[in-house]
Amino acid sequence: MIHSPPNAMTKNLLLEARHLVKTYKTIKAVDDVSFAIPEGICFGLLGPNGAGKTTAIEMMEGILSATSGEVYYKGAPRTREFNEEIGIQFQHTALLAFLTVRETLKTFQKLYRKTADIDSLLATCNLLDIQNQYNDKISGGQRQRLLLALALVNRPVLLFLDEPSTGLDPQARRNLWDIVLNIKSQGKTIILTTHYMEEAQLLCDEVAIMDYGRIIARGRVPDLIGEYCGKDSAGQPCPEANLETVFIKLTGRQLRE
């Protein structure tokens, strides 16, 4: 089944996953996942640890090959051109050693045909002050902003952010959210995975919740809250209900790792 939100029909579909399956020996990490993402939205992929979010997102990025299923970009199978048009911020990655922040960005800039201006990028991601520091001598927050800047170096049409704020302190996290909101306001399509429901609620237009390799719910955040946490007498979602309530209700309290 292809999960498509009501407004998917009104916008152009940018990315579509059809029946994606990823199997590692006997473990099915992703089990028949399908969804379509319209242009210009921020789409959140949520789920407990080990739910299959990163595997699903990496199949869409083309980093992992799917055991079965297809991914369509702008209505057609992906070509090499896909890599020119996407930006990725990975959950775990190292960078080329002994390069400064500016040199790292310039090195990646040279890998693309269409590129962003490095100075603007440094300013957008609050990296101007540390542009001449080695990329392994910066703080966690600065590093996440650098990884985000790298994902933006080719002015991507589609941006993948895999748990971009994990491990950041509240200040750094809010700073990162501001940057993402700024990017979003430019009309870019964003696919985001996160463990922070507050983050998903703030940034995402639509979310899908995964568990045990499958999508178990999908929709706009207020709609999901209304559907799974009931409504008050005025037909509005209960005031104390939020995305985390929905998440726990759907995935349970059992520890996954």
Positions 223 through 252 that interact with other proteins (CB under 8 A): none
**Matching residue, tokens 């430019």:** 186
148 and 122 Cβ atoms separated by less than 8 Å: no
Tell the smallest beta-carbon distance from residue 138 to other proteins (Å): 16
Positions 150 through 209 that interact with other proteins (CB under 8 A): 150, 154
Among 35, 73, 108, 228, binds other proteins (CB under 8 A): 108
Tell the smallest beta-carbon distance from residue 86 to other proteins (Å): 7
Q: Which two tokens stand for residue 34?
A: 């399908």
Work out whether 132 is an interface residue with other proteins (CB under 8 A): no
Work out whether 92 is an interface residue with other proteins (CB under 8 A): yes
Positions 62 through 91 that interact with other proteins (CB under 8 A): 62-64, 80, 83-84, 86, 88, 90
∠ Cα 46 26 89 (to 5°): 35
Work out whether 1 is an interface residue with other proteins (CB under 8 A): no
Tally of CA atoms within 13 A in the half-sphere of 228 that contains its CB? 22
Among 13, 95, 128, 229, binds other proteins (CB under 8 A): 95
Phi, psi of 254, rounded to the nearest 5 degrees: -65, 135
Binding segment for other proteins among 28-36, 48-56, 101-109, 247-255 (CB under 8 A)? 101-109
- Alpha-carbon separation of residue 135 from 32, 103, 144 (angstroms): 39, 9, 11
- The alpha carbon of 231 is separated from its chain's Cα centroid by a whole number of angstroms, namely 29
Binding segment for other proteins among 3-11, 22-30, 57-65, 181-189 (CB under 8 A)? 57-65
Work out whether 93 is an interface residue with other proteins (CB under 8 A): yes
Binding mask 10-49 for other proteins (x = CB under 8 A): ----------------------------------------
Tell the smallest beta-carbon distance from residue 156 to other proteins (Å): 10
Angle between helices 140-152 and 170-185 (to 10 degrees): 10
Tell the smallest beta-carbon distance from residue 5 to other proteins (Å): 27
Q: Is 172 helix (H, G, I), strand (E, B) or coil?
A: helix
Among 76, 94, 234, 255, binds other proteins (CB under 8 A): 94
Work out whether 255 is an interface residue with other proteins (CB under 8 A): no
Q: Shortest CA distance to 51 belongs to which of 226, 193, 182?
A: 193
Alpha carbon distance 202, 146 (integer Å): 22
Contact set with other proteins (CB under 8 A): 61-64, 80, 83-84, 86, 88, 90, 92-99, 103, 107-108, 110-113, 150, 154
